[in-house]
Structure 1
Amino acid sequence: MSRTVSAWVTSGEDLLGVVGPFSVDVPWWSEVEPVVGRLEGLLRVPVLVLRLLTVEGGEGGRDGHVTYHVEALQRPAPELLGRRSVPEGLSWGDDVLRMPWARAEGLRELLDWGVRTLEAAGRPVTGRVVQRRTWNLAGLFRLPTARGPVWLKATPRFATDEAAAVGAFARVDAGLVPTVIGRGEHRMLMAHVPGEDCWDASPETVTAVTGRFVAAQTALAHHRLPELRDWRTAVLADRVNALLDGPVGAELDREERQAVRGLTDRWRLLAECGLPDTVVHGDFHPGNWRTDGGAPVVMDFADAHWGNLVVDGLRAIDFLPGPLRATAARAWAEAWAAQAPGSDPVRALALAEPLAHLLYAVRYQEFLDGIEASERPYHDGDPAAVIRSALRCAERPGAFLTDLEV
């Protein structure tokens, strides 16, 4: 299945009409650069995508028929648009949970801030800003400058202070993370990192980036960042119990809830493995590593927190293809054995394999609690789904553990 798109177009307070449906090559709902390009060709004026309105079909944030709210920066000719009456049931009114970059005035303010901040930093914008992605977890824009592109990223209220997390790693290993050029509340400007994401990482890349990241986390373990949420093991155990006592628990049957509660002792045992609490990336998969052939740069710290770092090792393992899973596990365990003598990182991986999924359940519920109704198709059902993944891991541990002689 591919993505087809319709767009309801506004200009200021005026609803101008609808365009589409038309198809785009990129299936992901949040990837709006091709949507903007197609709409500007049809409407002959510059536009920006504000937010998702509806989705029919598709799943996992991709495919299906997607309808967006789009703001025209100039008024297009009326004959280029279709009907002007909003169909019943379309999410059109204001919403207190709407992201600032999903409102026309908020988006203009954000882009103006980016341009002004780069001007003050001596890197004036030399062309039009390009909207790359927009969804409930981020707005991402590319700003051209004479010294190369700069990326403007905006994040929601429930996201980490990403610039603070990146800055912490930069203090101990500057080349490991992007260069931050400007920062504000839930927004930052980053220098472009050339190359490609590491979805096809070699064993050498996996081992190198893991060892380097572990060394940086070790250096940060003695300096708690107050900007980061406290997600140490005891806190997460309480958050999981709260999920089970609420609507998420109602999506599970009695046996599933009991089985999850049966994992409780693993939190204590994990804390006894001797690994330090430190800055945890939270989404340390190879799609968030980027390289042009040199040392990889680690990106996207919006899920960073203070807690047990085993989740980063498991996240990398989860997203790598079969043969590389054991490579990643071994690299992570050996790096921590060297950095924390007397610790037991292999046992930590075994204990935490299901617990990591429970952490993701807590995080997905934060997403759902913090976004407006029309954006919920991105995450509906995710907390219960990853809780069930935790139970499967507890019953059938990953094959990568066998190679570590757990």
Structure 2
Amino acid sequence: AVEETGLGRIDDKIQKNLLVANKTPGMEVLSPRSFTGDRGLTIDERAPFGVICSITPCTNATETILNNGIGMVAGGNSVVFNVHPSAKNVNNFFIRELNRAMVAVGYPANVLCSVGDPTIASANALMTHPGVRLVVVTGGPAVVKAALQSGKKVIAAGPGNPPAMVDETADLAKAARDIAAGHSLDNNIVCIIEKEVVAVASIADQLKQEFERAGAYLLSDSDVAKLEKVILDDGHINRNFVGKNVSIILREIGLNVSDSTRFALCEVDEAHPFVQLEQLMPILPLFRVPSAEAGIEAAVRCEHGFFHTATCHSRNIDVLHNMARAVNTSLYIKNGPSYAGLGFGGEGFTSWTIAGPTGEGLTTAWDFTRERRCTLVDYFRIC
């Protein structure tokens, strides 16, 4: 995946795929419900949709294929993937290998299929095909919009811009380590990981020192000015630097840092494009707010109503609670790295399709099935 897409870090991708293999739920989440009474027996069961169209990204290429594949097949479905064109070779190879493994344990051949040469046209053809009952999209705003216009039931995972808010009561050393670990995972191409830091002003300087101890390269104001010209392109993110090592990015402005350096930190204001745009690269912007209350309000603004992910570092239970209510995100992590919300160093299952636009949140086999009810009247009572 790294070789084909040019995105991320090999060691991090190994960890991500192991997480998916170990913590993606299967049929165990599909338990039926039954109701008995004087008038008989009713059973609610989960049933497959049939053929699912799955649109997957280049950022979390094989992770999304494996995660969706397990959940969709566990629900009794077959899947046709339209993968991102820039990851088609690794994804199509991976799907072939998954099919071989499934056939070896008794599944029919080609339960998982993919378009050999995926395009926007092939994605639209799949999404509108009469044989497709469910469309699952993991990607950016454009593909989500197209899916929602398909006329099918859609599960859509859109963009995120997760804020990390740190107040004056937080364990600053731990907060810096956690945010550093989350932000730098796979060069920041994972949609749920920290994209900007909202720091209460009274602890901002100390927090920056802790980030440096956690491995950050601290950028000066002049460095930031130079960097703007490199990673911004007419008000948008320059895709040439998405998912690249920070050493490669900083080399463009004349800074030589080790390849082992995982991210750079810069201080800007809230309105800065580094804060407002989902960068998907290991450049972490920090801005100051006067109080935790102001920090919560700023975090809501930076998240842009994506209902995706947010984190908060505080030892004040009221702050933790108030931010949870205010951001209203699918994932909310207290005092830990964002990826803990995916079960990586935290409890619970993992999912790589976080459906904020359509409301399912972390998707499992349950979401890839439909409910059916069977009722038998006046019989099957044992008392």
TM-score between the two structures when normalised by the length of structure 2: 0.27
Relative contact order: is structure 1 or structure 2 higher (C-alpha 8 Å, sep ≥ 6)?
Answer: 2
